[in-house]
Amino acid sequence: MIEGILSGITTALTPTNLMMVFIGCFAGTFIGMLPGLGPISAIALMIPITYGFDPAAGLILMAGVYYGAIFGGSTSSILINAPGVAGTVATAFDGYPLAKAGHAGKALAIAAYASFSGGTIAAVFLLLAAPALATVALSFQSADYFALMVLGLTAVSAFAGQGQFLKAIMMTIVGLMLATIGTDAAEGIQRFTFGRLDLLDGISFLLLAMATFALSEALMTILKGDKLSEEAHKATRGQVGSLKLTREEVKHIAPSIGRSSILGFLIGVLPGAGATIASFLAYGMERNFASAAEKLKFGKGSLRGLAAPETANNAACSGSFVPLLTLGIPGSGTTAVMLGALLSYNVQPGPQLFIERPEVFWSVIISMYIGNIVLLILNLPLIPYISRLLVLPSNLLVPLILFFSLVGVYLVSFNTFDIYLMVVFAVIALGLRLFNYPLAPLILGFILGGMMEENLRRALNIYDGYSFLWERPLTLCIMLVTAFVIAVPVVQGFRQKRAIEQAGEGG
């Protein structure tokens, strides 16, 4: 292992790869900041660009873009309440009120320090835990994988927001339905292809992600008018304020950062659960831990409420590399795109990656440390200047976003049918957004659909029926956790309803 780490350090510290980290972090911050372009789109756009690179350099660049995009997303969340990335939605809850109160600089600094701490602590966990986790995870069977995926998808829905549970579950199901389009992996039978050759391979993940996120976000900006630019003008015209934190403030947020790093990392490791869930969970956890007085501040500019999701989403980014690198299972939508990129380099992620390509595995982990340092020392001081990019008028920005998205997908398949399909999905996604349906569960359902079906098939065949759900202790435990995750929003909903009724009777 030591040799692997040393070869990783040597690879990561070559001038080319160091430059990749710099470029990746910078490009990622820029792209993540633009509302409508998140890390999925950013990495997807990098795939055609990195075709000629060696795997380590390509992966390092993409990891840099990933971190940068999450950090950039935090900036637009804080400054204009427009998260470019789903993982930074929770950041806006307290970051935006802070910025509105004139503490934008402080909020950005907390976001940067929290991201740095979360990313670094999680990278240490990754370094220590990845080999061990790979061994543990290798003992997982299909039944456990199936249960884990059900848990992941349920958790996404359960934390989608108040009153959104059913909508999120429905979106997960729609995502799973879309995943069944194409040729069935086990038997080679065509399903829902309507006789079209273009649909034989199913819908590409990149296409769906770009259409439902980048395209529909950009179209939404146009549909709702140019309000975003006005707000961005307002936010960036004024000074962002001091970037310094007091000793008390650091002491105040330090425990949150510690807790959220661990939580974020663990959530990131889970298949299906990524930065978004981690950030929401960390936010919820901090609110539960907070004193009654502190609780009232949540949503109105609580420092802990900002630090927790920021730490957790970066920690989850590191965590999501664990299943990707050790098992070949993406932990989030973004790592799913990376999986595609790795396969295009002829690198098959999994336990074999440790043995066959240790320099790839370890250099990515080492470059995460470097990436975090780059973000802190390069991006933070530049934020007031980079944030001026937010004032780019949408009549110039939107055609560019549409172009980058369409070309990003077209350059992978070179099939114009994909462009038409993207427009159709973008319009549907736009409708779903207008009806307040969350789209992240749809994407996750889509990613996990194929794997879920495969694992269910295997489990059913091994156990000759559904008995694996209660016969295998690990599967049973995971299913019980799933039941708990479903029960929480239901019980909360009933409690709130009762509270409202009682308040109504009392008043």
Question: Between the CA of residue 344 and those of 44, 175, 348, 430, 468, what are the distances in Å?
Answer: 12, 24, 9, 31, 36
Among 1, 3, 192, 381, binds another protein (CB under 8 A): 192
**Minimum CB separation from another protein for residue 390, in Å?**
17
Q: Kindly state the tokens that stand for 49.
A: 């660009």
407 is a site residue for another protein (CB under 8 A): yes
Stretch that binds another protein, among 115-123, 371-379, 380-388, 400-408 (CB under 8 A): 400-408
Q: Which of 114, 353, 212 is nearest to 338 (CA)?
A: 353
Q: Kindly state the tokens that stand for 433.
A: 């957004």
Cα–Cα distance for residue pair 240/463, rounded to 1 Å:
60
Radius of gyration of the chain (CA): 22
In degrees, rounded to 5, the angle at the alpha carbon of residue 82 between the alpha carbons of residues 77 and 88 is 45
Among 102, 128, 163, 382, binds another protein (CB under 8 A): 163
Site residues (CB under 8 A) for another protein, limited to 166-185:
166-167, 169-170, 173-174, 176-177, 180, 184
469 is a site residue for another protein (CB under 8 A): no
Site residues (CB under 8 A) for another protein, limited to 80-139:
none
Stretch that binds another protein, among 218-226, 263-271, 304-312, 365-373 (CB under 8 A): 218-226
- H or E segment to which residue 244 belongs: none
Among 245, 460, 474, 481, binds another protein (CB under 8 A): 460
Among 100, 233, 297, 457, binds another protein (CB under 8 A): 457
Question: Between the CA of residue 479 and those of 133, 139, 264, what are the distances in Å?
Answer: 21, 18, 21
Question: Between the CA of residue 147 and those of 142, 447, 455, 483, what are the distances in Å?
Answer: 9, 15, 9, 11
Question: Between the CA of residue 382 and those of 52, 107, 177, 301, what are the distances in Å?
Answer: 31, 15, 44, 23
435 is a site residue for another protein (CB under 8 A): yes
453 is a site residue for another protein (CB under 8 A): yes
Among 427, 474, 481, 486, binds another protein (CB under 8 A): 427
Q: Mask of contacts with another protein, 43-62, x by CB under 8 A?
A: -----xx-xx----------
197 DSSP assignment:
G
**Minimum CB separation from another protein for residue 324, in Å?**
24
**Minimum CB separation from another protein for residue 422, in Å?**
7
Residue owning tokens 């399903």: 191
Question: Between the CA of residue 50 and those of 62, 422, 468, what are the distances in Å?
Answer: 9, 23, 43
Which residues sit at the interface with another protein, rule CB under 8 A?
A: 48-49, 51-52, 162-163, 166-167, 169-170, 173-174, 176-177, 180, 184, 186-187, 189-192, 219, 222-225, 393-396, 398-400, 402-403, 406-407, 410-411, 414, 416, 419-420, 422-423, 426-427, 430, 432, 435-437, 452-453, 456-457, 460-461, 464-465, 493
